[in-house]
Amino acid sequence: MFDSIHEECGVFGIFENKTSDVAASAYFGLYALQHRGQESCGITVCDDGIFRHKRADGLVSEVFTKEAIAKLGSGNMAVGHVRYSTTGGNDHNNIQPLVIRHIKGNMALVHNGNLVNAAELRRSFEMSGAIFHGTSDTEAIAYTIVRERLTSSSTDQAVERAMPFIKGAYSCILMTATKLIAFRDPDGFRPLCIGKTHDGAYVVASESCALETVGAEFIRDISAGEIVVITREGMRSITTNCGKERNICIFEYIYFARPDSVIEGVSVHHARQCAGRLLAKNSHVDADIVIGVPDSGLDAALGYSNESGIPYGIGFIKNKYIGRSFIQPEQHQRENAVKIKLNVIRETVAGKRVIMIDDSIVRGTTSARIVRLLRDAGAKEVHVRISSPPFLHSCYFGTDIDSEENLIAGKCSSTEEIAQFIGADSLAYLPVDCLGELIGNRFGCCKGCFTGEYPVDVTGAGSKNKFDEKIHK
């Protein structure tokens, strides 16, 4: 219904030295990561080597009722996943955790990111007789690890051997009968961190906000190219020779992550405020009020207000109860659908020159509807400011920016033309060369969707639905 950008998923894992209610811990952890994926979710519990799992379409609160959590039972380990399908479509077989039973034992895998060589890996395994049940990249990762496990002394050694064959973005948690193994790709495209509770349980999650939800204290981020192995003896790290400079997706800070998360030592809240300040410095305009589009535009709007001296106001109220089951309207009903999700506070904007801050413009249709809402509420002028550069290229690492021909910044010849399309009095984006300032220029970041320059070779990566296209020919 809305042409917004979506992330792929969030991952969570917990290791206890005793039998406990790890399913409930995973539930709370996934609840904190719900913003990263709202199509499906799943939890797998390990109880003395026995795996029990539940996976289904829906939000965490819909899938994991009190009865469902009780059926998972107690154990000493659990992994969980929330998903938005950037690769693999909404096939039930693609819902994670992916549980694999092979000759060396059972394992459950959760994965955030996209591979650029998944099709190549899949083809190789299929030619050897492998049967794939779904169409996600995660199965290719699982097969690669299992192949290496057949000739390795341990699963963590198999992961280390598998990593050079897996190209692209992957922040993963792997659970065996005795271990919890977390590993991250050599570029560190997607976040992954580790914490510890007061009673000694280790927790791994996509974002630090999930650690806090289960009472775990943040220890550190897992490094790019690192493998962390957690057993009853404690935690140890394997530094692979494939690690290199971090290239985390900059959109984690602009949009994906929760504002109370800290990633690679950088507060997401502060990064968004920084984006707003930079917008004010680079694209000032005289106005009466600054407002943000909920949710990720709010912090940037506050930053813009602080830098410009123009008062900050609450311009929109977001309906937080729509959820994934909201009926998709017909084309002629979509204008009213926007009003269901967002309502303007008329008293904030009526008769005023308004600066509206949002995180991005994709196709432009939603931005146009939101600008129209402000006009209808009596806004005298609407100046749109975007806390990211214009999207010009596809993403191959776990964001559903896919078809360049559908991106308005690629179709329009100028920013002024885009402003005219969305009905704004003016439009300005955050300059590309300002992106490093959001993270204090402390490490590298991937900005390929803005520049077309990617940290890894994406030749042959294909579209996000590459496997579905192959199957349905």
Residue with tokens 């890996």: 121
- For this structure, is 449 an active site residue? no
The per-residue DSSP string of 258-274 comes to -TT-EETTEEHHHHHHH
98-102/75-83 β-pairing: unpaired
Per-residue tokens: 248: 């985390």
Contact 258, 9 (CB under 8 A): no
* Residue 136 CB burial class (10 angstroms; 0-12, 13-18, ≥19): buried
One-letter amino acid of 27:
Y
Contact 290, 308 (CB under 8 A): yes
DSSP conformational letter for 234: E
Three-class DSSP category at 288: coil
Q: What are phi and psi of 102, to 5 degrees?
A: -135, 180
Return d(Cα 114, Cα 167) in angstroms, integer.
Answer: 9
Number of Cα atoms under 13 Å in the Cβ half of residue 290: 27
| 381 contact partners, CB below 8 Å, separation of at least 6 | 287, 352, 353, 354, 425
The maximal CA–CA distance of the chain, rounded, in angstroms, is: 72
CA 42 to each of CA 37, 93, 387: distance values in angstroms, whole numbers, following the listed order: 11, 12, 33
Contact 9, 82 (CB under 8 A): yes
Pairing status of strand 444-446 against strand 247-249 = parallel
User: Do residues 53 and 43 lie in contact, with contact meaning Cβ atoms separated by under 8 Å?
Assistant: yes
Element (H, E) at 383: strand 381-386
Q: What amino acid positions are annotated as catalytic residues?
A: 9
